[in-house]
Each structure stands twice: as structure tokens, then as C-alpha cells.
Amino acid sequence: MSRRSLPNIIITGTPGCGKTSHAEQLASQSGLNHISISDFAKENKCIEGYDEERDSSIVDEDKLLDALEPLIEKGGQIIDWHCCEIFPERWIDLVIVLRCNNTILYDRLQKRGYKESKISENVEVEIMQVLLMEAKDNYAEEIVIELNSEDVDSLEENVERIGQWIDNWKNDHPDGVSNDSGN
């Protein structure tokens, strides 16, 4: 039974909500490792195709989880991806769901050059709170936190808050946690 002395965190949200900005800044300040799942999947040959309609890669989730497991077992990982339900609950100590005002989100996605259909789909996902509900349905309520991400001030406040959570987690788990049960 292996143990990890650092927490694993998921930062999820609709594309354009600031997942990568949060993960990069948090990694820089905390010393945890940022894993952009989109990049990781490509680097580890976990792409099984391409969805023309959605203009995005199709990830082989089983292959992805197999490739991620050794890193997750070490602990100290910040997972940055637009979904969270595929990751086993025992791997994860905190799920951050970033939320964004629809007008701001629309403008961000438009600046990225997304097709109108992809912008509309993502704004609808945000309106319907799809990713928040996904997180709440798949993880214990006490580890799911919803944070607004609309400007630099909210980014800095969020990263500071998550950093405090990391410090508290370390203090609360001086002997680490088991990779088998999360305890």
C-alpha cells in the first residue's frame, strides 16, 4: 500500500474559465506539478481520434488513466482539464470548479478563434452548470469547491485560497494518505 505526502487537485471548468492560468500560477507558488491533460494525452499517445464536429481530440480514457497513475500515486499533482468524472475519487483530494460570467466567457472563446457552434455549446454548458454538477455527482461534497474566475484579482484570490488549503491539507495529514483509500 503506497502513500503520498502531497495532495492531488483537479482544476476543471468550461474552456475559457481560466483552468490553465490557475493551475500554472498555483504550481509556481506551491511547488506542485501542473498536468495539462490535453498536452499529457498527446505526449503519451492517449488520443484515439478526432471529433470534427466539436473540433477536438478524442482521448482514450483508459490509456490516459494508466499513464497518469504513477504520477498521481506520488501526489502533488494539479490536473487541468475540462472534465473530472473519469478520475477515481481515491486519487483526488480537492476538485476546483471554475465558473465564469457568460459574457466574459463568450468573449474569451471568441478571442481564441472558436467556431460559433463551439462557443455556443461551451456557454450553454456553463449556464447549465454541467461541470459543477459532474463534480458534485462524482466526488464527496466536501472536496468540491466552486470559484469564480473573471479577472486577475479573482485569479490571485483563488490561488491564494487554494494555497492555504494545500497548507492545511499537509498539516492535517502529516503522515500522508494511502493511495488505496485516500486516508
> Which CATH number covers residue 73?
3.40.50.300
Binding site for ATP, by residue number, is 16, 18-21, 112
Q: Is residue 120 part of a domain?
A: yes
* Total domain count, the chain: 1
Q: Is residue 181 part of a domain?
A: no
Q: Is residue 176 part of a domain?
A: no
Q: Domain residues for 62?
A: 3-166
Q: Is the pLDDT of residue 85 over 80?
A: yes
pLDDT per position as a tens digit, 24-37: 999 999 999 999 99
Taking phi over 0 as left and psi of -120 to 50 as alpha, with beta for the rest, 106 belongs to alpha
Binding site, by residue number, is 16, 18-21, 112
Q: Is residue 44 part of a domain?
A: yes
Per cent of the chain over pLDDT 70 is 98
Q: Is the pLDDT of residue 56 over 90?
A: no
Q: Sorting pLDDT into bands at 50, 70 and 90, what band is 55?
A: confident
Q: Is the pLDDT of residue 182 over 60?
A: no
Q: Is residue 25 part of a domain?
A: yes
Q: Is residue 151 part of a domain?
A: yes
Q: Is the pLDDT of residue 137 over 90?
A: yes
